[in-house]
Amino acid sequence: MNPFAVEKSDRIDSIGESELIERIRSWLGHVSPDSPRGIGDDCSVLPIFPFENQLLVTADPVIYHKHFDDSLKPEQVASKLLKRNASDIAAMGGYPRSATLSLALPSRLSISWLQRFYKGLALEAKHLDTEISGGDISSTDDFIGAFLTLIGVANKRVLERRKATLNSKIYVTGDLGGSILGKHHNFEPRLAEGQWLSTQSTVLACMDLSDGIGKDCPALLEPGLGVLLQADDIPISAAALRLSEQSRRPALEHAINDGEDYELLFALAPSTDHEALQTAWRQVFETPLSLIGVVVEKKPGDPTLSFSETDAFIGFTGYEHFRSTQ
């Protein structure tokens, strides 16, 4: 059977990434368990009986002409591959331990390029205290893809999505937007921060920001809830300000929708002593921490995300694979 669609309605870009994931979940049926063991979180969680620790499993690729191009050194490509997977581990409060790498390579690929890629991977793995324990190689015509599966460990408690309750406060680490100017290649996964958050009982939900607040934030919430964001409190990066001058779009829009920030977005329980938590955070980390919104009731017809300021822009989009208008 030819895998390519004839009818436009049969193309996956007619439904988009989010709907595609829901259909995959349906197609798999009972063999796909509920999150966090199955589809729906930053990692799959596998209990290690009889121990209290749990395994975290995530998989992300880098694709030539999609995630990297000729402007990047091979070492940078490898570093990004491992770090973007490690960011998923960070979001669930774990630390990386072992990875496998599968490569799809054309026969004319440069040996020297591949050597530098693996040297860069080894350097990043050493930095993250992670082993590269195996993988696979297959040949292609012109396609270049590197597919990494990363296994991590969480000590007792795992941070999940979809647990933020009414009146929870929404926080984010670092600053946001303009990642296309370099941060999407040169970032540090928030592993220590995620592990610290997993020890705080008032942290209800957490995820990493890969597709932008505009798309990712709703995934923190229990059903029937929304988030009222404070536009003035969104930490806009210097890169977003520079990009705004080029694009003629508001820097806030870049901060909300650009994606590939690889920061942690999390929700704190309404009972949290925020001053005490922020003080404790500053004693451990230099990473900025910003309170950006509150979880509110979402009435029928209301948007999931909105701004408290009536004059704040914006369409909340974020990045979605297979969006036909992109």
Q: Report the largest interatomic distance among the alpha carbons of the chain, rounded to a whole angstrom.
A: 61
For all residues of the chain together, what is the average pLDDT?
Answer: 92
Task: Output the pLDDT for position 318.
Answer: 54
Model confidence pLDDT, tens digit, residues 119-146: 999 999 999 999 999 999 999 999 999 9
Does the pLDDT value for residue 186 go beyond 80?
yes
| 81's tokens | 């591959």
Q: In this predicted model, which residue has the larger pLDDT, 39 or 93?
A: 93
Distance, in Å, from the CA atom of 250 to the CA atom of 237, rounded to the nearest integer, reads 12
Q: Are residues 16 and 102 in the same domain?
A: no
Q: What confidence tier does 33 reach under pLDDT thresholds 50, 70, 90?
A: confident
Last residue of a domain, one of 154, 188, 207: 154
Task: Output the pLDDT for position 17.
Answer: 84
Range(s) of the domain holding residue 24: 1-32
Q: Read out DSSP for 9-68? A: GGSGGGTHHHHHHHHHHHHHGGGSPPTTTSTTSSSEEEE-TTSS-EEEEEEEEEEBTTTB
Q: Are residues 55 and 143 in the same domain?
A: yes
Q: What confidence tier does 317 reach under pLDDT thresholds 50, 70, 90?
A: low
Q: What is the mean pLDDT of residues 57-75?
A: 95
Q: In this predicted model, which residue has the larger pLDDT, 18 or 204?
A: 204
Closest CA to 22 of 322, 224, 319, 222: 322
Q: In this predicted model, which residue has the larger pLDDT, 284 or 249?
A: 284
Contact 265, 206 (CB under 8 A): yes
Q: Are residues 277 and 178 in the same domain?
A: yes
* Lowest-confidence segment of 39-43, 81-85, 242-246, 270-274 by average pLDDT: 39-43
Model confidence pLDDT, tens digit, residues 88-104: 999 999 999 999 999 99
Does the pLDDT value for residue 149 go beyond 50?
yes
Q: Are residues 118 and 248 in the same domain?
A: no
Task: Output the pLDDT for position 184.
Answer: 85
Model confidence pLDDT, tens digit, residues 281-297: 999 999 999 999 999 99
Task: Output the pLDDT for position 127.
Answer: 98
Task: Output the pLDDT for position 321.
Answer: 62
| CATH number (domain holding residue 126) | 3.30.1330.10
Does the pLDDT value for residue 312 go beyond 70?
no
Segment holding 79, helix H or strand E = helix 74-91
Q: Are residues 150 and 192 in the same domain?
A: no
Q: What is the mean pLDDT of residues 256-285?
A: 96
Number of domains in the chain: 3
Task: Output the pLDDT for position 326.
Answer: 44
* Lowest-confidence segment of 24-28, 78-82, 179-183, 309-313 by average pLDDT: 309-313
Q: Are residues 180 and 274 in the same domain?
A: yes
Contact 210, 260 (CB under 8 A): yes
* Lowest-confidence segment of 43-52, 75-84, 252-261 by average pLDDT: 43-52
316 in a domain, yes or no?
Answer: no
Q: Are residues 193 and 214 in the same domain?
A: yes
Task: Output the pLDDT for position 49.
Answer: 74
* Lowest-confidence segment of 27-41, 65-79, 158-172, 312-326 by average pLDDT: 312-326
Distance, in Å, from the CA atom of 243 to the CA atom of 240, rounded to the nearest integer, reads 5
318 in a domain, yes or no?
Answer: no
Task: Output the pLDDT for position 285.
Answer: 98
% pLDDT > 70, the chain: 94
First to last CA, the chain: 28
Task: Output the pLDDT for position 16.
Answer: 86
315 in a domain, yes or no?
Answer: no
Task: Output the pLDDT for position 308.
Answer: 84
Task: Output the pLDDT for position 37.
Answer: 83
